[in-house]
Amino acid sequence: MAKLWKKGRGKLGPFQPLHGSWVAEAESNMGPVRCQRVFEPILGGHYLRLTARWEFGPKASSRAYEEVALIGVGDEGEVCFWSFTSDGKRSQGVAANVTDLHPEAVGFEADMPAGRARMAYWPEEGGGFRWVVESRTKKGWNRFVDHSYRAM
């Protein structure tokens, strides 16, 4: 299979294809959801900032959930993320091998209050990317978010 993503240099290089502004529209248990994600290098390229905004219900709805996350190299030399959300919660995780989802997938695992979770990104044919969030169960991974993003 031909590679769809051209990765950059360095430890954050695998995330270079995500740079830019993206949008996904999907259904959720709260109704229609529109999610915008912006990935931008900051602080001399040592970190990647993700700004995400989830809008639930009709477009321009006041029901929104926001996240700011940083992706960078942690104290142990591994790529990590640190996430802060509009409900006052925070999480952190470390890069993980998620190629069982797609050969070019990049992602993270984190220990959350409800158990281990992972998120992953991978390219879609024709541009854009998929983003999923899964929780670890005794039988494997249980997917509970699956979005398809296109450039804004």
Q: Of the candidates 85, 86, 107, 98, which has an alpha carbon nearest to the alpha carbon of residue 18?
A: 107
Whole-angstrom distance, CA of residue 62 vs CA of residue 83? 22
pLDDT value, residue 122: 96
pLDDT (average), residues 39-50: 97
- Whole-angstrom distance, CA of residue 129 vs CA of residue 30: 23
Can you give the residue ranges of every domain in the chain? 13-151
62 pLDDT band, cuts 50/70/90, is low
Cα separation, 44 vs 36, in Å, equals 24
Tens of pLDDT, residues 117-149? 999 999 998 899 999 999 999 999 999 999 999
**pTM of this structure:** 0.92
What residues have CB less than 8 Å from 88, skipping those under 6 apart?
A: none
Q: Report, as an integer, the average pLDDT of 97-121.
A: 94
Query: What CATH class has 13-151?
Result: mainly beta
Q: Are 125 and 111 in contact (CB under 8 A)?
A: no
What is residue 61's predicted lDDT score, i.e. its pLDDT?
61
Number of H helices and E strands in the chain, helices first, is 0, 10
